[in-house]
Amino acid sequence: MALESFKSSRALSLGVELELQILDTHDYALTPMANDLLYWVGRHAEHPGNIVPEITQGMIEISTGIHSTHQTLNAELGAIRDFLCRGGRELNLALCGGGTHAFQHWGDTRIFDKERFHYISDVYGYLAKQFTIFGQHIHIGCPAPDEALFLLHSLSRYIPHMIALSGASPYVHGHDTGFASARLNSVFAFPLSGRAPMVATWAEFGDYFEKMTRTGVVKSMKDFYWDIRPKPEFGTIEIRVCDTPLTVGHAADLAAYLQALCRYLMIERPIVPVEDDYLVYSFNRFQACRFGAEGVLVDPKTGEHTSLRDDILETLAKIEQHAIELDADAACARIKAQVEQGESDAGWCRARFAEFGSAPELMRAQARRWREA
Amino acid sequence: MNGLPSLPFEIDAFGRVALLLIAAIAGAEVCERWLRLPRLVGYVLAGLLLGPAVLAWVPPGITGDLRPLVLLGLGLLLFELGSRVDLRWLRHNPMLIVSSLVESGLSFAATYLFLAWFDLASASCAAVAAIAVATSPAVVMRIVAENHARGQMTERLMLMTALNSLYAILLLEISVGMVHLDRNAGLLQAIADPAYSAFGSFLLAAAMAYGMHLARFSQLQRESERFALVLAVVLLGTTLADRLGLSVPMALLCGGMILRTLSQRLHLFPEHFGAAGALLVIILFTLTGVALDPRQIAAGGLMSIGLLLIRGLAKYFGAYVSAGHGGLVPDKAVWLGVALLPMSSLAVLQAHEVAGLYADFGDEILAIVLGAVLIMELLGPVAIQLALRRSGEAMPHRGEGEV
């Protein structure tokens, strides 16, 4: 199968997908009510956003339309959240953010009854069920495919930023993993996870894709679980490393930060992507997953070690003018304050766990935060 | 050699209870592995087999001797069911109340008309119809737990079971009031008795729930102690309701519901009250089997079967009301009607209570109710399990990698 052509879209336009947890209001375990909730959604023809199933029954995915600023994005996310929370009240279930469910065991999940999900389950076995994790995907519009590939590779240096700023999955199977984002460990287990190949043009990318399909390993772009992936049918690149934040507001702020960063990269072109950028990619990514903003970032060119926190703050200063142009400065200011004060969603989870003393109580607090924030 | 016992020796009551338990477990294994039936059916069948009706292996007084344990097991399940019902849900989804009222109202009306057609006294008709409204809380809780069921139908099954059990208790009180009227008692007594029972049970329930809440139940760190506390509250509630002439099941159900309204932290209840709770549940169902008498089917006869059919249809249509607009997937609504079928073993207690009031009034009722209950003890669990599995909400082999 040949690679489809890259549809042009407005530069720096934004779209967000969030995978959400569906919780039982009695014990706050994941509850397999995705089809019940989707049925309820289906009975309300006029609803905001797009709401679709995900791989297991305890999850649901929401996605927004195309936005040029994070303000309207935030408004749409808020409307979807309020709509789904109403459904939750009518069906006696709760929704929440966060990258993992704090105490769910993978064996207790059920695959959503859809051909593609059964296919994934057949191919990947328990990895598919362990894939009951919840991420935020941010789409950035690109006018042309080569632009998209440039942006994709330039952004690789900043992937640790996005992981550290969104990390919201410290607990797995009831235990503190020590990670800010334990969710990504489940993604790395997939054989086709990681990074896209270092090619600069859509023609070269097409060659790579054709070689891969000829091996029979992949059938479509969907089979790549890369951290950043081009999405030719949307004309976007899709950043897939973020955990679903605990609030829609933070999800919109992350999108705003990324949008300003992309504007900086596209206009100032401070980076010429080369293969060697990826020498320390996995190391940096691990540091961000494990320690969040406290992690170390290694510069592939100079070999210099800095703290992720300092690098994020430095970047925020560099992109300030772009943020103002995009009306994203307030969002960037919130992110800056958060980083300076050492706050994060993962830290919030740990504090609630310590306060209430149990994983179900943490999930209940997450559900309340999602609903009320 | 007088230190050694002489053989064969008589097996005492302890030994027989032990055998009963072993038979119950064996029965459960046979049912699950070979017959693909709920384990619960195995407990009941083992009781029926060893009971006076068939092999007469258990001591005749066993149901009386172990009655406190049976009541405790039933009490725990009622309290747990109550604690699973969040009344706020009714406020957010009023269709649930409509569906519950239609389901219960239809069951009552259909059963009443069916019996009235056979020229039974109207008070008797009302009493049987009231008993027919309830779905068995014990069977529902147990089969849901056995199947690790979760989902919208399961949630609604528990909610509607709790509600129709409450309606049934109230309706039965009222029909007993009608008996008083029939027998020329004063109107005051006919109204005052049910009202005393209903309000009294509710107040007792509120006292239990507030007591637990104020005692900061959820702050207890040890699960075993939380269980002991729940046990103590259930015992206290049972005994107080009994002494004050109130409705034990109503006090426990309402107690659980009020506690749930006061606290969102009831996930701290040990799931189905752990091993000790499970033991009580096994005893409850095995002794239910012991008390069954197949001859009752003959006595209740076609009336019992007809009653079950009519009641089944009513429940089925009532449950379907919540399909669509009420937010329940129509495929699941169909199975909800099936899952509501099990008749309450509470009905046995209730029937005996009513029978105790007036000897002749009770006999007609007892025969019909006990016949229907006997059939439903065996078919009811199968119906729920089928409904949970067909609606896709059961997870029978949890953790074994099924899809």
Question: How large is the greatest C-alpha to C-alpha distance in chain B, in angstroms?
Answer: 80
Name every residue in B having a CB less than 8 A away from some CB of A. 84, 86, 88-89, 92-93, 150-152, 155, 221, 264-268, 271, 324-325, 327-329, 332, 392-393, 395, 398-401, 403
With a CB cutoff of 8 Å and minimum separation 6, the contacts of B33 are none
Q: How far is CA B181 from CA A133, B120, B124, B317, in A?
A: 64, 16, 13, 33
DSSP state of A33: -
ipTM of the complex: 0.88
Residues from chain A that touch B401, judged by Cβ atoms under 8 A, are 107, 126
CA distance A308 to B77: 54
Whether A92 sits inside 8 A of B400 (CB atoms) is no
| CB–CB contact B93 A89 (8 Å) | yes
A35 → closest Cβ in B93, B264, B329 = B329
Which CATH number is B84-390's, of 3.30.300.10, 3.40.50.2020, 1.20.1250.20, 1.20.1530.20? 1.20.1530.20
CB B313 within 8 Å of CB B109: no
Fold of A14-366: Creatine Kinase; Chain A, domain 2 (3.30.590)
Q: What is the mean pLDDT of residues A84-94?
A: 95
Count the helix, strand and coil residues of chain A and give each as a percent rounded to the nearest 5: 50, 15, 35
Give B364's pLDDT tier (boundaries 50, 70, 90). low
Q: Which two tokens stand for residue A372?
A: 């009320």
Contact A40 B327 (CB under 8 A): yes
pLDDT at A373: 78
What average pLDDT does the structure give for chain B?
Answer: 83
Domain residue ranges of chain B, discontinuous segments joined by +: 84-390
Sign of CA dihedral A213, A116, A195, A12: positive
Q: What is the pLDDT of residues A134-171, one digit of tens each?
A: 999 999 999 999 999 999 999 999 999 999 999 999 99
CA gap A154, A263 in Å, rounded: 12
Partners of residue A36 in chain B, C-beta under 8 Å: 151-152, 327-329, 332
* Nearest chain B Cα distance for residue A176, angstroms: 20
pLDDT, position A152 = 96
Contact B401 A39 (CB under 8 A): no
pLDDT at position B399 is 39
Specify the pLDDT at position A183. Answer: 94
Average pLDDT of the segment spanning B356-364: 63
Q: Which chain B residues touch A28 with a CB distance below 8 Å? A: 267
Say yes or no for a CB contact (<8 Å) between B93 and A90.
Answer: yes
Question: Is residue B4 very low, low, confident or very high in pLDDT (cuts 50, 70, 90)?
Answer: low
Residue, of A373 and B209, whose pLDDT is higher:
B209
Show residues of chain A in contact with B324, CB under 8 Å: 43
Q: Which residue has the higher pLDDT, B366 or A174?
A: A174
What's the gap in Å between the CA of A364 and the closest CA on chain B? Answer: 9
Higher pLDDT, residue A78 or B50: A78
The pLDDT tens digits for B47-104 are: 989 888 888 887 777 777 788 888 888 888 899 999 989 889 999 999 999 999 999 9
Chain A nearest CA to B21, separation (Å)? 31
The answer to whether the beta carbons of residues A289 and A169 sit under 8 Å apart is no
Task: Quick: pLDDT tens for A16-68.
Answer: 999 999 999 988 999 999 999 999 999 998 899 999 988 888 999 999 999 99
Please tell me the distance in Å from B403's CA to the nearest CA on chain A. 6
C-alpha distances (whole Å) from A10 to each of A76, A239, A323, A337 are 19, 17, 17, 30
Q: Residues A240-277: pLDDT tens digits? A: 999 999 999 999 999 999 999 999 999 999 989 999 99
Asked whether the beta carbons of residue B150 and residue A43 sit closer than 8 angstroms, the reply is no
Q: What is the pTM of this model?
A: 0.91
* Structure tokens that stand for A300 in this block: 């592939």
CA angle A200, A205, A207 (to 5 degrees): 130
Distance from the A27 Cα atom to the nearest Cα atom in chain B, whole angstroms: 5
Question: A327-332 contacts: CB < 8 A, separation 24 or more?
Answer: A327/A69, A327/A70, A327/A71, A328/A69, A328/A70, A328/A256, A328/A257, A328/A259, A328/A260, A331/A70, A331/A252, A331/A253, A331/A256, A331/A257, A332/A253, A332/A256, A332/A257, A332/A260
The structure tokens listed for B162 are: 């709790």
Please report, as a single letter, which amino acid is at residue A269: R
Neighbours of B58 (CB within 10 A): 22
pLDDT of residue A28: 92
